Amino acid sequence: MLEAPLTPSPSLPLSGKHIVLGLSGGVACYKSAELARELVKAGATVQVVMTDAACRFITPATMQALTNRRVFTNQWDEREPNHMPHINLTREGAHAVVVAPASADFIAQVAQGRADELLALMCLARPLSGAAGGKPVPLLLAPAMNREMWAHPATQRNVAQVRADGATVLGPAAGDQACGEIGDGRMLEAAELRDELIAFFQPKLLAGRDVLVTAGPTFEAIDPVRGITNHSSGKMGFAIARAAAEAGARVTLVAGPVHLPTPRGAVRRIDVRSAEQMLAAVLPEAKRHEIFVATAAVADWRPANAAEQKLKKDGSGRVPALSFVENPDILATVAKLPPAERPFCVGFAAESHDIVRHAREKLARKGVPLIVANNGPATFGRDDNALVLVDAQGERELPPGDKLALARALVAEIAARVPPRRSGAKG
Ligand code: C5P
């Protein structure tokens, strides 16, 4: 019989997950080796199943070495005592079948329920419902094909059919193709597919809800070339946007000047520079969002009058006399909206000392139901953090971890506290 899944490390994002990775024929098979590796590195056990055509693009030996498991390529495999790999493969603890690449022909086979090769046969035979105590095994397809093949009405019909039958389609991406053409049909990259799978497994605690996030620093101009900013990297806010999208939310991310890619999934990004621009972007959005998470490190003050031209040193030793005005408090402004327009507001407090006391003061001063406190200087720019949740009930510590793991834990806390959907809210 098949090997039992290995005992995984509990702290990795795919720990405990057993993935059946199917390869159908396509040049993108070269990315599947990397994908197998990414899934194993993320804690999953990976069982590879390949079609004959896939074996022409990459060898089972490569996939076996990367997954440390025998590869299955045909339904008459004599290694299985009951001669039924198409049944056994999805019955022995599989959490998902991921077919990458999924060729146009393979998608057509799945759409029609054909079973002429082990991989299609196994997809047809996988449990669809939890009947008889079994667990449904979801199917995820990562299409890879020439752009004309992807755009063809026959392929689009088949894709719509497999979706209607419950499969999840990941991508495809647009770009350069192996055939030299440019367009839709490229398989997603291995790391993107890994992240899609991790997202797929997250509990959908915010399904259909609208979440607004501010992230990063602001930049307050002194003149056209200089300004005042801070060390916020935006990583925590971007992690929260990603975690909320993974939990099924539609996310609007208002970002100050940061060097971070927009998280995958349902995340709409609005880039701003100054606190005033951030407020102008947030206010019209706040009214149609149910949750507002303000992680941005908004500058408290800005130069009263930014010079239109660069301030010049004149050799006299005189320095420019800068005067400041206070910036609007974005979080407090949103928290004061009339109840029917006000989202559930979550503030952050980056402190260097007396963290909980300052967070509790902020809770009262800003009039928000939840403040998330952290040690600002210790976390700026880093990938890990530790959070303390402060609300009217008391304090709760989220144990130190990487920002994404903390963001997922925070999303779960927010989901548990946010009031039921407002009538009239989107979705
Ligand atoms: O007032 P302080 O900056 O310490 O408060 C931090 C919290 O308030 C964060 O959630 C931050 O995003 C938000 N804030 C804001 N607008 C400001 C200052 C802070 O939204 N002008």
pLDDT of 400 reads 87
* CA–CA dist 272, 252 (Å, integer): 13
In degrees rounded to 5, what are phi and psi of residue 15? -55, 135
* Residue 224 Cα to ligand 1 middle (Å): 25
Question: Is the separation of the CB atoms in 228 and 398 below 8 Å?
Answer: no
Q: Which of 220, 238, 331, 371 to mutate to test the pocket of ligand 1 (most atoms within 8 A of CB)?
A: 331
Please list the pLDDT of the chain residue by residue as tens digits (427 residues).
455 444 444 579 999 999 999 999 999 999 999 999 999 999 999 999 999 999 999 999 999 999 999 999 999 888 888 889 999 899 888 999 999 999 999 999 999 999 999 999 999 999 998 776 678 999 999 999 999 999 999 999 999 999 999 999 999 999 988 889 899 999 999 999 999 999 999 999 999 999 999 999 999 999 999 999 999 999 999 999 999 999 999 999 999 999 999 999 999 999 999 999 999 999 999 999 999 999 999 999 999 999 999 999 989 999 998 999 999 999 999 999 999 999 999 999 988 788 889 999 999 999 999 999 987 666 767 777 889 999 999 999 998 888 999 999 999 999 999 988 765 554 4
* Residue 9 Cα to ligand 1 middle (Å): 38
H or E element at residue 364: helix 355-366
**What does the domain layout of the chain look like in residue ranges?**
18-201, 210-305+322-417
- CATH 3.40.390.10, domain 18-201, yes or no: no
pLDDT of 354 reads 87
372 CA: nearest ligand 1 atom: 10
Going by C-alpha positions, the residue among 288, 270, 289, 290 that lies closest to residue 280 is 270
pLDDT of 156 reads 98
Query: Could you confirm whether 179 is annotated as catalytic?
Result: yes
* Active-site hit among 29, 55, 179, 345: 179
* Residue 330 Cα to ligand 1 middle (Å): 7
User: Which residue type is seen at 324?
Assistant: F
Domain 210-305+322-417 classification at class level: alpha beta
* Residue 92 Cα to ligand 1 middle (Å): 50
H or E element at residue 21: strand 18-23
- Token pair, residue 405, equals 């793991």
pLDDT of 224 reads 96
Q: Which of 228, 293, 298, 361 to mutate to test the pocket of ligand 1 (most atoms within 8 A of CB)?
A: 298
Same fold: 18-201 with 210-305+322-417: yes
* CA–CA dist 5, 55 (Å, integer): 24
348 lines ligand 1 (CB under 6 A): yes
Q: Which of 258, 326, 330, 389 to mutate to test the pocket of ligand 1 (most atoms within 8 A of CB)?
A: 330
pLDDT of 4 reads 45
* 0.85 surpassed by pTM: yes
